[in-house]
């Protein structure tokens, strides 16, 4: 699930950054020019960049995606709830499937040895068919549980997106990047890390919503 969380957060943050880039540079945009000549006295490439004029003074911050996925309480609650129910259903399904397979194997052996009367055969076949139907219902339950978890996960993602939309406006930020979890940020200065600030606000708001829902 954590890998999924990271992937989702990456998409959310990349979309937000893309929109901000569009509005920030739609009037003027200059491509960064890199000089490839290296100083012979230094093995480190000497690169010179021409910074886009509109970028001067831009406020860029970032959040650690892995930390958000691991410490946002909404994800933790969803994980506990889903894993507990899914684990119970899976164990029940595995046990019933094993019992049914064993019963079917015994049935086949008895039929081959002609040990069953017609009534006994009909009884066993009916029991095996009923067991098969029960397994199908359990599969449907697991699918329903998975879909419910996906819906809740989508809501959490939407809440995070809404939070960032409010956050960057309130803080007058130009860009909020995602770092870690396979994000396309190669380096991030720790002084620009707002992960803890974001987590604090997200969790405080989640606790309020959670508390209010329990009172209903």
pLDDT (tens, 9 = 90+) of the chain, 216 residues, equals 545 545 444 444 444 444 344 334 434 444 344 334 444 444 544 545 455 555 556 788 889 989 998 999 999 999 998 888 899 999 999 999 999 999 999 999 999 999 999 999 999 999 999 999 999 999 999 999 999 999 999 999 999 988 888 888 888 888 888 888 777 777 778 888 889 989 999 999 999 988 888 776
Name the token pair of 59: 């406020």
Nearest-5° Cα angle at 61, 162 to 66: 70
Q: What is the pLDDT of residue 153?
A: 92
Tell me, letter by letter, the H, E, C secondary structure of 49-96. Answer: CCCCHHHCCCCEEEEEHHHHHHHCHHHHHHHHHHHHHHHHHHHHHHHH
Q: Please answer whether residues 33 and 50 qualify as being in contact, where contact means their C-beta atoms are separated by less than 8 angstroms.
A: yes
Q: Please answer whether residues 180 and 66 qualify as being in contact, where contact means their C-beta atoms are separated by less than 8 angstroms.
A: yes
Q: What is the pLDDT of residue 39?
A: 46
Name the token pair of 192: 């620009």
Q: What are the residue ranges spanned by the domains of the chain?
A: 2-215
CATH fold of 2-215 reads Protein Binding, DinI Protein; Chain A (3.30.910)
| Rounded Cα–Cα distance for residues 67 and 194 (Å) | 11
Q: What is the pLDDT of residue 50?
A: 57
In 10 A of CB 119, how many CB atoms? 8
Alpha-helical (H) ranges within the chain are 2-25, 65-71, 73-112, 118-170, 195-215
| Rounded Cα–Cα distance for residues 145 and 154 (Å) | 14
Strand partners, 175: 60
| pTM as predicted | 0.62
Q: What is the pLDDT of residue 13?
A: 44
Q: What is the pLDDT of residue 169?
A: 83
Q: What is the pLDDT of residue 170?
A: 84
Nearest-5° Cα angle at 206, 201 to 212: 130
The candidate with the shortest Cα–Cα distance to 161, out of 10, 25, 4, is 10
């Amino acid at each position: 699930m954590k890998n999924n969380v990271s992937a989702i957060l990456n998409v959310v943050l990349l979309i937000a950054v893309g929109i901000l880039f569009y509005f920030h540079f739609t009037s003027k945009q200059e491509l960064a020019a890199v000089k490839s000549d290296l100083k012979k006295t230094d093995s480190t490439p000497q690169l010179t960049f021409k910074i886009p004029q509109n970028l001067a003074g831009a406020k860029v911050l970032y959040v650690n995606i892995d930390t958000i996925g691991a410490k946002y309480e909404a994800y933790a609650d969803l994980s506990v709830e889903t894993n507990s129910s899914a684990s119970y259903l899976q164990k029940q399904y595995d046990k019933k499937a094993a019992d049914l397979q064993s019963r079917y194997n015994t049935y086949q052996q008895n039929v081959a040895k002609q040990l069953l009367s017609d009534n006994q055969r009909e009884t066993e076949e009916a029991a095996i068919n009923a067991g098969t139907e029960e397994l199908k219902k359990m599969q449907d339950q697991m699918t329903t549980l998975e879909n419910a978890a996906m819906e809740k996960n989508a809501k959490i993602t939407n809440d995070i997106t809404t939070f960032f939309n409010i956050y960057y406006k309130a803080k007058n930020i130009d860009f909020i990047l995602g770092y870690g979890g396979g994000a396309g940020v190669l380096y991030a200065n720790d002084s620009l890390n707002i992960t803890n600030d974001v987590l604090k606000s997200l969790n405080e708001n989640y606790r309020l919503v959670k508390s209010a829902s329990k009172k209903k």
